[in-house]
């Protein structure tokens, strides 16, 4: 019997002569490493002994490592197959010790080939290695850009693609027409359809650089850029305004941080650093979704952080490796835990397939060549180190991953696909590298890269239908035909019908796009007021009535009131109940405009100071603060005419008859006492008030990206952001069509929209032309005129307008981006 004792390092007992005779005979011919041996090693050994893995300390990486062997000594003795341990193992002569451990055992023919190979001296083709593959797309590399000779194209993107086209025998077709180009860039930069007047101006512009200027102008529209790109980043950063996990505090939004980062075009390296090593505002991403109850070990918050960071920023899939060494790529359990460990206060217990293996995780970064993390350092330092490695100069993957995502968005397919598998080669690595290095050279300014791509000739190529892609290997011919996203579709409907969303959801802070706030700080005009000076400490319970008269030269284009009252209030405008509020922490937002008129207007507030904590009998308690805060945001065109609560307001303890009306004789009402400004204690409400006031910049016109998903958006593909989403399927589905054809959401939008359009008093002809210009950027053709006029007829009726709107929204020309 074979003695297996004392194997480590010290050789082992040889096979008995009898056993040797039972081994399959060596193949009786010269073996080819490439044809005969390589496939066997790949199929049966590499999984555990190659690509960085070394079970039993043994690697099949190269001839040297095979001869060297592992914990059991050399695996092969050149020229002596019968004495080679490897042969003993694969022949199965000891049923308790057979290789490979998993999968099919080797056939006698295969063993014979290996024997012959060993006897023939282990020939090994020099270009073959089973060692850890050099990761693709990881190190910075500046490619050589062909000179401008190529088709007279000046931009590097086009020169690289020019050379690619030559190599693939593709003739470059002419660039698309102005109208097509304009629609593409409007949708790609700000997510909106181009307005007819702007299209007209663009078409009339004779400047040679007009397309580049258009791109620049759109990129400079910070608010609309942010509103559009919010969708892309919400998907990728798994951020939403409602969703699983919020119900018990297991999840946190990053909406305010993200929106502001987009408005300010935060450089991408800082953007990523702030997500990896977060502040309170940006921690929601790495915080993950924390579930109550028992959770699979691969889904603890630290593991989620590792998976999400590696997927979104490094284009790497650690999900499989979170449970076991991955079967679909070379990542190991140790890799996933090494990264997750950085997010843990204490070293994590390692679980394999949800069972502990009795080991703690060792901290390490997934690409040690980029740097290491000091495992002994406190967590705050580790996070800082991690963010420095990922956003550091040596890391070429960060830039490559993001430029690839941008390219995929604009062309319908990345340079590398799938976009979350950045270890695949690109269909043109020079292009990928050039875009990445260019981004880095320009301070990680994503808008710069967007501009580079959108002003290239390649972007202006006619679009290509994917059904034309017959080759097994992808060949680039131009941008793919794409489809409006759910948000672009809903915003498109809003543009046609005037039906935007009433107000944003989410925890946003719009001070960054509020022109007034930007100029004058918080822009808050009011002071906390009450009937007595000490009210911020304590005031009697009961009601106090306030009045304020305002005189308006015109009814303003927007008039909204932001009101907070400790404890509750009702607001009357010219005698009508305009709104109320019960919780000062959530300031009420009230539309004043419907009640206002030219000339004299009266604001009347019934403010109530309730007894503390539901004690209905207490009066004059010391803990009972009271105060009213009022800020009116009035816009007249571009002018802001705000005012707020102050001593010009009058108060009384009793409400006499007619106190809400303008003609009320107020002789004995006294001026309100100003308690202090918005930031004062005990309310400390400045931020919330300023946010609410700033939010009025969107009032009645919030875009789809800023609100929670409705059935229409969900039907059109807005994902449930419980997982990271880096791309959305765009093909139409039957359920989608049902939603579009008879769903309530769209139907109501169309009804309201048609009613408004009919009110406009446009003639049928004017209406049809306007809709075509807005929706498709062109006038109707002769046939289209005839059809539309047949439907609309001589008198413009609501139902026909609804039907025309609907049909136009269903047109492929509307829903697709050509």
Partner 1 sequence: MKTMNRWSRREFLRTASAATVAALGAGYPRRLLAAENTTDKIKPTADTVIVLWMAGGMAHTETFDPKRHTPFEKGMSPEGLYSTFPTIDTTVDNIKACQGLEKIARVMDRGTLIRSYTAGDLGFILHSRHQYQWHTGYAPPQTVAAPHIGAIIARTLGPLSPAVPAFINIGQRFDVGEGEELKAFTTAGFLGSEYGPFNIPYPDQAAQTVRPPGGMSPDRFQDRNKFYKRLVAASPIGEFGSDYQKESLERSFANAHRLLSSPAAKAFDLSLEPKESVKKYLPEGVDPGQSVSATQSRDGSYERQTMGRFGLGCLLARRLAEVGARYIEVTTEYIPFLNWDTHENGHTKLADLKKQIDAPIGQLVLDLEERGLLDRTLIVLASEFSRDSLVEGKPDKKVKDQVPVPDKIEDMKNYGMHRHFTDAGCVLLFGGGIKKGHLHGKTADERPCKTIEKRVVIEDLHASIFRAAGISPKLAYEIEKRPFYVTRDGEGKPIMELFG
Of 450-479, binders to partner 1 (CB under 8 A) are 462-469, 471-472, 474
> In terms of Cα–Cα distance, which of 105, 75, 54 is closest to 12?
75
d(CA 460, CA 184): 9
Among 217, 744, 760, 763, binds partner 1 (CB under 8 A): 744
Q: Which is closer to partner 1, CB of 46 or CB of 386? A: 46
SS3 content of the chain, % helix, strand, coil (to 5): 40, 10, 45
Q: How far is the CB of 251 from partner 1 (least distance, A)?
A: 10
Q: Which residues contact 352 (CB under 8 A, 6 or more apart)?
A: 323, 324, 333
> 597 with 574: CB under 8 angstroms?
yes
Alpha-helical segments (H) within 635-728: 686-695, 711-715
Residues of span 795-814 touching partner 1 by CB under 8 A? 799, 803-804, 806-808, 810-813
The answer to the question of residue 717 lying near partner 1 (CB under 8 A) is yes
> In terms of Cα–Cα distance, which of 235, 240, 261 is closest to 251?
240
**CA atoms within a 13 Å half-sphere pointing along the CA-CB vector of 809:** 26
> 114 with 86: CB under 8 angstroms?
yes
Q: Which is closer to partner 1, CB of 307 or CB of 558? A: 307
The answer to the question of residue 328 lying near partner 1 (CB under 8 A) is yes
The answer to the question of residue 296 lying near partner 1 (CB under 8 A) is yes
> 186 with 193: CB under 8 angstroms?
yes
Among 143, 243, 540, 662, binds partner 1 (CB under 8 A): 243
The answer to the question of residue 295 lying near partner 1 (CB under 8 A) is yes
Instruction: Give the containing element (helix H, strand E) for 66.
Output: helix 63-68
Q: Which one of the spans 294-302, 435-443, 448-456, 499-507 is the region binding partner 1 (CB under 8 A)?
A: 294-302
Q: Which is closer to partner 1, CB of 380 or CB of 731? A: 731
Q: How far is the CB of 722 from partner 1 (least distance, A)?
A: 6
Residue 810's φ and ψ, nearest 5 degrees, are: -85, -10
Strands 670-671 and 627-636, sheet pairing: unpaired
Among 327, 355, 376, 551, binds partner 1 (CB under 8 A): 327
Residue 479's φ and ψ, nearest 5 degrees, are: -65, 145
Q: Which residues contact 787 (CB under 8 A, 6 or more apart)?
A: none
The answer to the question of residue 726 lying near partner 1 (CB under 8 A) is no
> 33 with 117: CB under 8 angstroms?
yes
Q: How far is the CB of 776 from partner 1 (least distance, A)?
A: 9
The answer to the question of residue 730 lying near partner 1 (CB under 8 A) is yes
Q: Which one of the spans 131-139, 314-322, 665-673, 689-697 is the region binding partner 1 (CB under 8 A)?
A: 314-322
Q: Which is closer to partner 1, CB of 124 or CB of 291? A: 291
Among 11, 30, 79, 103, binds partner 1 (CB under 8 A): 103
> 365 with 397: CB under 8 angstroms?
no
The answer to the question of residue 653 lying near partner 1 (CB under 8 A) is no
Residues of span 400-439 touching partner 1 by CB under 8 A? 413, 417-418, 420-421, 424
d(CA 419, CA 146): 26
x/- string (CB under 8 A) for partner 1, residues 671-710? ----------------------------------------
> In terms of Cα–Cα distance, which of 524, 514, 517, 555 is closest to 698?
514
Q: Which is closer to partner 1, CB of 474 or CB of 658? A: 474
Contacts of 801-807 with CB under 8 Å at 24 or more apart are 801/754, 801/757, 801/758, 801/767, 802/750, 802/751, 802/753, 802/754, 804/768, 804/771, 805/496, 805/497, 805/750, 805/753, 805/754, 805/757, 805/771, 806/746, 806/750
CA angle centred on 14, ends 12 and 18, rounded to 5° = 150
Among 244, 520, 653, 766, binds partner 1 (CB under 8 A): 244
Residues of span 477-496 touching partner 1 by CB under 8 A? 480-483
Burial 799-809 (b: 16+ CB within 10 A, else e): ebbbebbbebb
> In terms of Cα–Cα distance, which of 101, 817, 142 is closest to 492?
817
Q: How far is the CB of 246 from partner 1 (least distance, A)?
A: 7
Q: Which one of the spans 63-71, 426-434, 629-637, 736-744 is the region binding partner 1 (CB under 8 A)?
A: 736-744
Distance of CA 693 to the CA centre of its chain: 27
Among 13, 738, 763, 766, binds partner 1 (CB under 8 A): 738
Residues of span 533-592 touching partner 1 by CB under 8 A? none
The answer to the question of residue 33 lying near partner 1 (CB under 8 A) is no
Q: Which is closer to partner 1, CB of 97 or CB of 723? A: 723
Among 267, 526, 715, 777, binds partner 1 (CB under 8 A): 715
The answer to the question of residue 289 lying near partner 1 (CB under 8 A) is yes
The answer to the question of residue 381 lying near partner 1 (CB under 8 A) is no
Among 34, 292, 661, 779, binds partner 1 (CB under 8 A): 292
**CA atoms within a 13 Å half-sphere pointing along the CA-CB vector of 282:** 16
The answer to the question of residue 110 lying near partner 1 (CB under 8 A) is no
Q: How far is the CB of 542 from partner 1 (least distance, A)?
A: 32
Among 722, 760, 763, 766, binds partner 1 (CB under 8 A): 722
d(CA 799, CA 558): 30
Among 209, 671, 748, 763, binds partner 1 (CB under 8 A): 748
x/- string (CB under 8 A) for partner 1, residues 79-98? --------------------
Among 582, 656, 737, 763, binds partner 1 (CB under 8 A): 737
d(CA 31, CA 571): 93
The answer to the question of residue 322 lying near partner 1 (CB under 8 A) is yes
Among 21, 520, 600, 733, binds partner 1 (CB under 8 A): 733
The answer to the question of residue 131 lying near partner 1 (CB under 8 A) is no
Q: How far is the CB of 432 from partner 1 (least distance, A)?
A: 17
> 715 with 740: CB under 8 angstroms?
yes
Residues of span 246-285 touching partner 1 by CB under 8 A? 246-247
The answer to the question of residue 242 lying near partner 1 (CB under 8 A) is yes
The answer to the question of residue 777 lying near partner 1 (CB under 8 A) is no
The answer to the question of residue 71 lying near partner 1 (CB under 8 A) is no
> In terms of Cα–Cα distance, which of 772, 796, 794 is closest to 782?
772
Burial 583-608 (b: 16+ CB within 10 A, else e): ebeebbbbbbbebbeeeebbbbbbbb
The answer to the question of residue 753 lying near partner 1 (CB under 8 A) is no
Q: How far is the CB of 258 from partner 1 (least distance, A)?
A: 20
Strands 588-591 and 650-652, sheet pairing: unpaired
Q: How far is the CB of 484 from partner 1 (least distance, A)?
A: 10
Q: Which is closer to partner 1, CB of 122 or CB of 486? A: 486
């Amino acid at each position: 019997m074979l003695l297996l004792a004392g194997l480590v390092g010290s050789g082992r007992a040889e096979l008995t002569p009898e056993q040797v005779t039972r081994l399959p005979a060596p193949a009786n011919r010269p073996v080819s490493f490439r044809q005969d041996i390589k496939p066997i090693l790949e199929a049966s050994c590499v999984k555990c002994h190659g690509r960085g893995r070394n079970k039993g300390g043994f690697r099949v990486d190269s001839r040297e490592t095979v001869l060297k062997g592992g914990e059991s000594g050399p695996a092969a003795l050149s020229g002596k197959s019968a004495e080679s341990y490897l042969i003993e193992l694969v022949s199965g002569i000891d049923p308790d010790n057979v290789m490979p451990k998993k999968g099919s055992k080797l056939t006698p023919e295969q063993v014979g080939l290996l024997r012959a190979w060993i006897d023939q001296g282990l020939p090994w083709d020099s270009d073959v290695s089973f060692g850890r593959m050099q990761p693709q797309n990881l190190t910075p590399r500046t490619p050589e850009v062909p000179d401008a000779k190529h088709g007279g194209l000046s931009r590097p993107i086009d020169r690289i693609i020019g050379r690619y086209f030559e190599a693939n025998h593709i003739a470059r077709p002419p660039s698309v027409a102005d109208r097509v180009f304009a629609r593409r860039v409007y949708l790609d930069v700000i997510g909106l359809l181009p307005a007819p007047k702007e299209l007209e101006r663009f078409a009339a512009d004779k400047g040679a650089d007009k397309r580049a200027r258009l791109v620049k102008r759109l990129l400079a529209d910070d608010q609309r850029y942010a509103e559009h790109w919010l969708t892309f980043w919400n998907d990728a950063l798994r951020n939403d305004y409602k969703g699983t996990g919020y119900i018990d505090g297991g999840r946190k939004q990053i909406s305010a941080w993200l929106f502001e980062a987009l408005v300010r075009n935060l450089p991408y390296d800082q953007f990523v650093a702030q997500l990896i090593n977060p502040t309170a505002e940006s921690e929601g991403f790495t915080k993950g979704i924390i579930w109550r109850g028992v959770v699979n070990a691969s889904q603890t918050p630290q593991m989620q952080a590792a998976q999400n960071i590696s997927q979104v920023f490094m284009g790497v899939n650690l999900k499989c490796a979170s449970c076991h060494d991955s079967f679909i790529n070379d990542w190991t359990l140790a890799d996933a835990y090494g990264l997750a460990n950085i997010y843990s206060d204490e070293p994590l217990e390692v679980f394999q397939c949800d069972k502990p293996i009795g080991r703690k995780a060792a901290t390490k970064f997934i690409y040690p060549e980029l740097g290491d993390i000091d495992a002994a350092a406190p967590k705050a330092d580790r996070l800082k180190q991690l963010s420095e490695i990922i956003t550091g100069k040596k890391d070429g993957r960060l830039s490559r991953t993001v430029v690839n995502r941008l390219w995929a968005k604009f062309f319908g397919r990345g340079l590398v696909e799938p976009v979350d598998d950045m270890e695949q080669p690109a269909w043109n690595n020079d292009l990928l590298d050039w875009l990445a290095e260019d981004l880095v050279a320009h301070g990680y300014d994503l808008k710069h890269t967007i501009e580079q791509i959108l002003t290239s000739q390649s972007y202006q190529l006619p679009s290509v239908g994917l059904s034309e892609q017959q080759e097994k290997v992808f060949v680039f011919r131009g941008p793919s035909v794409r489809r409006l996203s759910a948000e672009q579709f809903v915003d498109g409907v809003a543009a046609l019908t005037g039906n935007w969303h009433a107000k944003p959801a989410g925890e946003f802070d719009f001070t960054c796009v509020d022109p007034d706030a930007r100029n004058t700080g918080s822009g808050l005009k009011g002071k906390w007021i009450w009937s007595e000076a000490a009210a911020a400490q304590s005031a009697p319970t009961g009601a106090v009535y306030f009045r304020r008269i305002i005189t308006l030269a015109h009814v303003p284009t927007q008039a909204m009131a932001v009101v907070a009252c400790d404890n509750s209030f009702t607001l009357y405008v010219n005698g009508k109940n305009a709104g109320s509020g019960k919780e000062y922490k959530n300031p009420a937002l009230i539309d004043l405009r419907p009640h206002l008129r030219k000339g004299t207007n009266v604001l009347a507030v019934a403010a109530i100071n309730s007894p503390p904590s539901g004690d209905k009998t207490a009066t004059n308690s010391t803990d009972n603060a009271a105060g009213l805060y009022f800020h009116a945001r009035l816009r007249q065109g571009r002018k802001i005419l705000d005012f707020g609560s102050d001593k010009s307001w009058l108060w009384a303890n009793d409400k006499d008859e007619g106190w809400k009306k303008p003609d009320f004789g107020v002789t004995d009402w006294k001026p309100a006492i100003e308690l202090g400004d918005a930031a004062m204690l005990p309310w400390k409400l400045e931020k919330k008030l300023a946010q609410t006031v700033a939010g009025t910049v969107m009032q009645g016109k919030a875009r789809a990206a800023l609100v929670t998903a409705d059935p229409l958006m969900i039907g059109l593909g807005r994902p449930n952001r419980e997982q990271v989403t880096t791309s959305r399927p765009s093909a139409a589905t039957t359920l989608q069509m049902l939603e579009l054809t008879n769903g309530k959401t769209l139907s109501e939008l169309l009804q309201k929209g048609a009613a408004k359009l009919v009110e406009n008093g446009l003639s049928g002809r004017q209406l049809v032309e306007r809709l075509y210009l807005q929706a498709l950027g062109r006038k109707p053709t002769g046939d289209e005129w005839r059809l539309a006029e047949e439907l609309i007829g001589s008198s413009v009726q609501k139902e026909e307008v609804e039907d025309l709107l609907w049909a136009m929204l269903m047109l492929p020309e509307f829903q697709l981006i050509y």
